[in-house]
């Protein structure tokens, strides 16, 4: 059968189960768009390539499938880089197709040429330049396999225009064979035995779960593990939702803006079990004093995560789900857990006292507090919405005041901390879950970074809801300036923003505003339950800060409190 | 404490693979002391030998990070006595008439070869381990080294006897 490169791509995409692509056409990918139009794959036309990648990211996280984007060469490809870097930091499975100038022009500084394989090398799991149409099918298969196995991540395929247009005799590729790529899924049994031994002896154990638990779909295994062994659980930003927030063992988030008790627990614990985490600096604070009294167990599928930032007593390289399943069954056979609750009583009493002395709190005055908006959002959605965020204070308040019960419900740019992420990610999540309520909690600064995507949402009738916590500042930077730079608010005042209600209307969306606390609930009710794309502008306290806060580089137990 | 480590790896012989490896070093702040690349008997596989200087946790990271690259097929730490290590250098040294005999004597003692001769210079080919390189360089320095090109260390694991 003779097929063009473009036809091969469509064929293999179908084989890989792709039903949605986020993208933006251009000269180098016209052939592909022409072919794509003849398939039943849904194409979501974004308004900027960064939006396409973030949308594919949100789609991947909400659906558990690989996100796919298609952009053109040159500026199309460079615009995608931020999104790719964000997906790389958060280990999101994604395949990005970029157009490229015809192969004979590569290296000639041709129109819309850029060495995107070179540019993205440090921020992709792997990337390819298609040099022969004959290799195309194999490369696509490999890309999907690499993106979605081991520690997931984005894979980029750069496709010269002539490779896509060329017709070849197509031979179906069946299996992916990569001689050097072989992720370790099964943990070493001896290491797991050591973990069990440590659990047995621990008086003040703590579980620290991260995005890896969500990626390996190990949430129920984790819950079983924590409940069985009676170990309190904290999580990184990326791990929110992997353990139900309503469980008495839940401590809240760990880190720079973590809860008082979660941070104190790491300082006091004698066993810390890190699962699917990478001990990022926003979590550890000063590494020397992080969990300094504890034996640290680190379970992760990526060996480079282990001992990268902190020394570990028991490294376990393996898939979180499989590791937890094995630990759970080993506990059944080996551990006498009847005395555990008794043994840990002192520890739990301690935790309870930390919770009651320093709960997450704020005082609602006659100006709307941003925390109040998130809390109301939580109440009205019964904790069941998919919440995406932008980056900064809006992100931290969402993490603190929206209590996640299930994984895949909190979608945020954790590692890269990429402003402008939330709206396109919400679009992607809404595409993946058309029947769910998807809310982007945004700041007035970050929403302006990708607000062009309102047009995408309206065009594709995606009823995403955007909650803008509008304080007229780049709030998180302002907070740092207040605390550490003598209140010199250099370039963080953002009072010159558009009227978001009018902006919404200009895009054909619904715009609502609340300026007083008593209006918050009504606006949320009206906005959340509308069938349309809605932008809700909440005029909030201008100089509210996120607490607790650990200054960068300080021990995680040294918190600034309200 | 920083120690020298030699990593030898088999990689896919494809464009861009070296760049992935070198980029990993620069991007993560690792250090390359020497680097050598050439194709093996299999045309689609190259061997890369890198000497690096780092403390223990970083050495562990370097090995793991290299291993993670999809194009790195196999990697081995060849530090220590279980491997044979060699380096080659071409050293162009000033050779005034009054020094020629002395230089040739050094060449003889170190079992090197003179590969290019001029009225005012010798170019000497030296092969050996790091110690030998250092020793001969310190002796030739007095005459004035005009140019030097070194291959960087290459190494192979010693097969069982």
Q: Which CATH number goes with the domain that contains A281? A: 3.40.50.1220
Same domain, B50 and B88: no
For residue A418, the domain's CATH number is 3.40.50.970
pLDDT tens-digit profile of A72-123?
999 999 999 999 999 999 999 999 999 999 999 999 999 999 999 999 999 9
How much is the pLDDT for A345?
Answer: 87
Beta carbons of B71 and A180 less than 8 Å apart: yes
> pLDDT at residue A336 above 80?
no
Return left, alpha or beta for A259; rule: phi > 0 is left, psi -120 to 50 is alpha, else beta.
Answer: beta
Q: Which of B77, B108, B123 is the last residue of a domain?
A: B77
**Considering CB atoms only, which of B19, B60, B74 is closest to A121?**
B19
Residue B75 C-alpha from the chain's centroid: 17
Q: Please answer yes or no on whether A180 and B73 come within 8 Å at the CB atom.
A: yes
pLDDT at A344 over 90: no
Please check whether residues B56 and B12 belong to one and the same domain. Answer: yes
Output the pLDDT for position A94.
98
Q: How many CB pairs under 8 A join A and B?
A: 38
Question: pLDDT tens across B55-109, in order?
Answer: 999 999 999 999 999 999 999 999 999 999 999 999 999 999 999 999 999 999 9
Q: Quote the percentage of chain A above a pLDDT of 90.
A: 93
**For the residues A372-399, what does the mean pLDDT come to?**
97
Q: Are A533 and A415 found together in one domain?
A: yes
Residue A179 lies in a domain: no
Both B65 and B88 in a single domain?
Answer: no
Nearest to A122 among B23, B60, B68 (CB): B23
Q: Which residues of B touch A118 (CB under 8 A)?
A: 16, 19
- Binned at pLDDT 50, 70 and 90, residue A497 comes out as very high
Angle at A150 between CA A145 and CA A151, to 5 degrees: 110
With bands split at pLDDT 50, 70 and 90, how would you rate the model's confidence at A469? very high
Residues B141 and B111 in one domain: yes
Query: Of the residues B52, B77, B102, which one is the last residue of a structural domain?
Result: B77
Any catalytic annotation for residue A375? no
- Has residue A479 been placed in a domain? yes
Which pair of structure tokens corresponds to residue B87?
A: 């380096």
- Can you list the alpha helix ranges (DSSP code H) found in A433-534? 453-459, 475-484, 500-506, 517-528
The torsion of the CA quartet A433, A435, A437, A442, rounded to 10 degrees, works out to 40
Query: Chain A partners of B57 at a C-beta cutoff of 8 Å?
Result: 307, 311
Give the structural domain span for B48.
Answer: 3-77
Q: Quick check: is A410 catalytic?
A: no
Answer yes or no: do A149 and A262 share one domain. no
Binary contact (B67, A303; C-beta < 8 A): yes
Average pLDDT of A412-437? 98
Helices (H) and strands (E) in chain A — how many of each?
Answer: 22, 20
Show which of B25, B47, B77 is a domain's final residue: B77
Asked if B68 lies within 8 A of A118 by C-beta distance, the reply is: no
**What element of type H or E holds A233?**
strand A233-235
pLDDT-derived band at A175, boundaries 50, 70, 90: confident
User: Into how many domains does chain B fold?
Assistant: 2
Q: Residue range A517-528: average pLDDT? A: 98
* Strand extents, DSSP E, B23-109: 34-39, 45-54, 72-77, 83-94
Q: Do B23 and A180 touch (CB under 8 A)?
A: no
Q: Looking at residue A332, what is its pLDDT?
A: 86
Is there a single domain that holds both residue A265 and residue A149? no
Q: State the catalytic residue, choosing from A161, A321, A326, A369.
A: A161
Kindly state whether residues A38 and A145 are assigned to the same domain. Answer: yes
Q: Does residue A555 lie in a domain region?
A: no
What tokens appear for A132 in the block? 């022969």
Per DSSP (E only), the strands in A338-437 are 386-389, 410-411
Could you tell me if B153 and B95 lie in one domain? yes
Chain A residues with CB inside 8 Å of B72's CB?
180
Same domain for A150 and A195: no
Of B16, B27, B70, nearest to A122 by CB-CB distance is: B27
pLDDT band at A186 (very low <50, low <70, confident <90, very high): very high
Instruction: Note whether A144 and A244 are same-domain residues.
Output: no
Provide the CATH number for the domain around residue B59: 3.30.70.260
Residue B94 and residue B40 share a domain: no
Does A498 map to a domain? yes
Question: Which residue in chain B is spatially nearest to A312 when comparing CA positions?
Answer: B57
Say how far apart CA A87 and CA B74 lie, in whole Å.
27
Structure confidence at residue A510 (pLDDT): 98
Q: Tell me, what's the pLDDT at A361?
A: 86
From chain B, pick out residues whose CB is under 8 angstroms from the CB of A178. 70
Which residues are CB-contacts of A511 (< 8 A; sequence separation ≥ 6)?
Answer: A500, A501, A502, A503, A504, A505, A534, A535, A536, A537
Query: Is A161 assigned a catalytic role?
Result: yes
Q: What is the mean pLDDT of chain A?
A: 96
In a domain? residue A31 = yes
- Rounded to a whole number of angstroms, the distance from the CA of A500 to the nearest CA of chain B is 40
A111 is catalytic: yes
Asked which of A352-366, A428-442, A546-560, B53-67 is least confident by mean pLDDT, the reply is: A352-366
> Do residues B103 and B146 both lie within one domain?
yes
CA A386 to chain centroid: 12
> Cβ–Cβ of B70/A146 closer than 8 Å?
yes
Say if residue A508 is in the same domain as residue A417: yes
Say how many CA atoms lie within 13 Å of B72 toward its Cβ.
22
- Average of per-residue pLDDT across A7-20: 97
> Does the CB of B12 have a partner CB in chain A at under 8 Å?
yes
Would you say A438 and A430 are in contact if contact means Cβ atoms under 8 Å apart?
yes
Mean pLDDT value across residues B13-26 = 96
Specify the CATH number for the domain of residue B111: 3.30.70.1150
A286 and A419 in a single domain? The answer is no
Of A117, A126, A179, the CB nearest to B73: A179
Would residue A560 count as lying in a domain?
Answer: no
pLDDT tens, position by position, A445-457: 999 999 999 999 9
Closest residue in A to B26 (Cα–Cα): A122
B57 to chain A, closest Cα gap in Å: 7
Among B23, B64, B70, the residue with its CB nearest the CB of A180 is B70
Q: Which domain holds residue A298?
A: 189-357
Residue A176 forms part of a structural domain: no
pLDDT of residue A131: 96
> What tens digit of pLDDT does each residue of A120-168 get?
999 999 999 999 999 999 999 999 999 999 999 999 999 999 999 999 9
The predicted pLDDT at position A340 comes to 73
A396 and A483 in a single domain? The answer is yes
The pLDDT confidence band at residue A359, using thresholds 50, 70 and 90, is confident
Cis bond leading into A187, ω under 30°? no
If asked whether residues B62 and B126 sit together in one domain, one would say: no
A205 & A138 share domain: no
Q: Are residues A330 and A225 in the same domain?
A: yes
Structural domains in chain A (count): 3
pLDDT at residue B58 in the model:
95
Distance of residue B157 Cα from the nearest chain A Cα, in angstroms: 20
Whether the CB of B67 is below 8 Å from some CB of chain A: the reply is yes
Q: Are residues B132 and B149 in the same domain?
A: yes
Same domain, B7 and B65: yes
**Residue B122 sits in the same domain as residue B153:** yes
Q: In this predicted structure, what is the pLDDT of residue A173?
A: 81
Is B61–A308 a contact, with Cβ atoms under 8 angstroms apart? yes
Nearest-angstrom CA–CA distance, A255 and A460? 38
CA A218 to CA A209: how far, in whole Å?
10
Instruction: Measure B13 CA to nearest chain A CA, in Å.
Output: 13
Per-residue confidence (pLDDT) for residue A494, from 0 to 100: 94
Q: What is the pLDDT of residue A334?
A: 72
Q: Which among B24, B60, B71 is the nearest to A307, CB-wise?
A: B60
Same domain, B68 and B16: yes
Q: Report the largest interatomic distance among the alpha carbons of chain B, rounded to a whole angstrom.
A: 57
Residue B20 forms contact with A (CB below 8 Å) = yes
Whether residues A379 and A476 share a domain: the answer is yes
Residue A141 domain-assigned?
yes
pLDDT of residue A333: 75
């Amino acid at each position: 059968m003779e097929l063009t490169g473009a036809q091969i791509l469509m064929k293999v995409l179908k084989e890989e189960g792709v039903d949605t692509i986020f993208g933006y056409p251009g000269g180098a990918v016209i052939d592909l768009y022409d072919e794509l139009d003849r398939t039943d794959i849904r194409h979501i036309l974004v308004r900027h390539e960064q939006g396409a990648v973030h949308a594919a990211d949100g789609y991947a996280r909400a659906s558990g499938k690989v996100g796919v984007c298609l952009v053109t060469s040159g500026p199309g490809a460079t615009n995608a880089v931020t999104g790719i870097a964000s997906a790389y930091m958060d280990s999101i499975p994604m395949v990005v197709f970029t157009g490229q100038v015809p192969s004979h022009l590569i290296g000639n500084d041709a129109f819309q040429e850029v060495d995107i394989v070179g540019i993205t090398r440090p921020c992709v799991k792997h990337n390819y330049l298609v040099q022969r149409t004959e290799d195309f099918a194999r490369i696509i298969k490999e890309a999907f396999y690499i993106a979605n196995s081991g520690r997931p991540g984005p894979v980029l395929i750069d496709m010269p225009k002539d490779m896509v247009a060329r017709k070849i005799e197509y031979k179906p590729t069946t299996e992916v064979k990569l001689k050097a790529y072989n992720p370790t899924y099964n943990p070493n049994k001896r290491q797991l035995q050591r973990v069990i031994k440590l659990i047995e002896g621990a008086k003040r154990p703590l579980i620290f779960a991260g995005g890896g638990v969500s990626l390996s779909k190990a949430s129920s295994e984790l819950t079983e593990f924590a409940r069985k062994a009676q170990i309190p659980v904290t999580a990184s930003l990326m791990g929110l939702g992997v353990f139900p927030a309503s469980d008495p063992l839940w401590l809240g988030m760990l880190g720079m803006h973590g809860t008082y008790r979660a941070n104190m627990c790491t300082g006091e614990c004698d066993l810390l079990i890190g699962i699917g985490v990478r001990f990022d600096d926003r979590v550890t604070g000063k590494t020397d004093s992080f969990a300094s009294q504890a034996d640290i167990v680190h379970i992760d599928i990526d060996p480079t995560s282990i001992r990268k930032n902190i020394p570990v007593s028991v490294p376990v390289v393996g898939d979180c789900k499989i590791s937890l399943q094995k630990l759970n069954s080993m506990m059944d056979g080996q551990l006498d857990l009847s005395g555990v609750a008794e043994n840990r009583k002192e520890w739990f009493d301690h935790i309870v006292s930390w919770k009651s002395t320093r709960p997450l709190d704020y005082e609602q005055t006659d100006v709307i507090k941003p925390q109040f908006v998130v809390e109301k959002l939580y109440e009205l959605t019964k904790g069941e919405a998919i919440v995406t965020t932008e980056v900064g204070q809006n992100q931290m308040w969402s993490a603190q005041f929206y209590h996640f019960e299930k994984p895949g419900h909190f979608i945020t740019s954790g590692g890269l901390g990429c402003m402008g992420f939330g709206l396109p990610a919400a679009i992607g999540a809404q595409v993946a879950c058309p029947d769910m309520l998807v809310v982007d909690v945004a700041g007035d600064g970050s929403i302006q970074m990708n607000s062009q995507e309102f047009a995408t949402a309206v065009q594709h009738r995606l009823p995403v809801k955007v909650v803008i916590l509008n304080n007229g500042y780049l709030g998180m930077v302002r907070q740092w300036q207040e605390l550490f730079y003598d209140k010199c608010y250099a370039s963080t005042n953002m009072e010159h923003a558009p009227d978001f209600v009018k902006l919404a209307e200009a895009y054909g969306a619904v715009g609502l505003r609340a300026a007083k606390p008593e209006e918050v609930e009504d606006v949320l009710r009206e906005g959340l339950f509308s069938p349309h794309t809605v932008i809700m502008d909440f005029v909030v306290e201008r100089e509210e800060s996120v607490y607790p806060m650990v200054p960068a580089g300080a021990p995680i137990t040294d918190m600034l409190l309200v | 404490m920083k120690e020298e480590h030699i990593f030898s790896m088999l990689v896919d012989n494809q464009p861009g693979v070296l760049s992935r490896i070198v980029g990993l070093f620069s991007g993560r702040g690792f250090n390359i002391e020497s680097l050598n690349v050439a194709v093996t008997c299999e045309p689609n596989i190259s061997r890369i030998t890198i000497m690096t200087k780092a403390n223990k946790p970083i050495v562990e990271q370097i090995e793991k990070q290299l291993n993670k690259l999809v194009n790195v097929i196999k990697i081995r730490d060849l530090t220590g006595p279980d491997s044979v290590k060699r380096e080659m250098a071409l050293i162009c040294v000033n050779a005034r008439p009054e020094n020629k005999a002395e230089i040739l004597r050094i060449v003889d003692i170190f079992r090197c070869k003179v590969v290019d001769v001029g009225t005012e210079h010798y170019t000497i080919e030296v092969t050996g381990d790091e110690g030998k390189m250092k020793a001969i360089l310190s002796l030739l320095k007095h005459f004035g080294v005009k140019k030097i090109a070194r291959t960087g260390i290459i190494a192979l694991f010693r097969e069982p006897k």
